[in-house]
Amino acid sequence: MTAGPRERLVDSAITLIRERGVHATGLTDLLEHSRTARASIYQHFPGGKADLIAEATHAAGRQMDTFVAGVLESGAPLDAIDALLRWLRRTLRDTDFAVGCPVVAAALSGADTTAAREAAASAFRGWQRTLAAAFTREGLPEATAVSLAGFVVSGIEGALVQARAMRSVQPLDDARVQLAALLRGYLGETGSDDQ
């Protein structure tokens, strides 16, 4: 509950960027949402908005990576992917399809925001590494695990974009079914055939 200005700014940046994208998120919105003084931005992020966005993207990437790693170490990879997709589905519905992935938003923020793009790339690589480690733990060769992990990220992120556009969780459900089929091909028959 301490939540200093810096932490509030990062949290608000993640929230607003998920909803509106980088360029559509103004500092005024950011300050109002985080109940923070304008000067506090430049106190903690000398580079201004660009710095804040980059740090928010890094933070969002770490949060998601922690979540995925947590679910992975207590279950099979497919169950972890399932849990992630279920959580995304619930989040989308709860917010009336208003929120997307902050890392994707940062990745597409344009050519002028190099720091944000690099932060997004770093987050993607982190997720891929975490997933690939789980796949190798299941016996997959290193190269196969890395490729598969990268594609799992692609499939989920793409489904999230489609789901927002269509205002439907169907793309996430399709991703669940198809990723299950793909993983079954690599890892053989394993659970996760619930409803």
Asked if residue 182 binds a copy of itself (CB under 8 A), the reply is: yes
Q: Which residue of 6, 8, 11, 19 would you call a contact of a copy of itself, by CB under 8 A? A: 19
Asked if residue 124 binds a copy of itself (CB under 8 A), the reply is: yes
Q: Which residue of 125, 139, 141, 142 would you call a contact of a copy of itself, by CB under 8 A? A: 125
Token representation of residue 178: 């198809």
Nearest approach in angstroms of CB 56 to DNA is: 13
- Cα dihedral 57/103/65/91 (nearest 10): 110
Tell me, by CB under 8 A, how many residues bind a copy of itself: 51
Residues 23, 20: Cα–Cα separation, whole Å: 8
Rule CB under 7 A: which residues touch DNA? 4-6, 25-29, 35-44, 47-50
| Minimum CB distance to a copy of itself smaller for 62 or for 125 | 125
Token representation of residue 126: 């982190």
- Contacts (Cβ under 8 Å, ≥6 apart) of 57: 17, 102, 103, 106, 116, 119, 120, 123
Stretch of 35-43, 64-72, 114-122, 133-141 contacting a copy of itself, by CB under 8 A: 114-122
- Contacts (Cβ under 8 Å, ≥6 apart) of 170: 163
Q: What are phi and psi of 99, to 5 degrees?
A: -110, 145
Q: Which of 187, 185, 192, 124 is nearest to 152 (CA)?
A: 124
Q: Which residues of this protein are in contact with a copy of itself, per CB under 8 A? A: 19-24, 98, 100, 103-111, 117, 120-121, 124-125, 147-148, 150-151, 153-159, 161-162, 164-167, 170-171, 173-175, 177-179, 181-182, 185-186
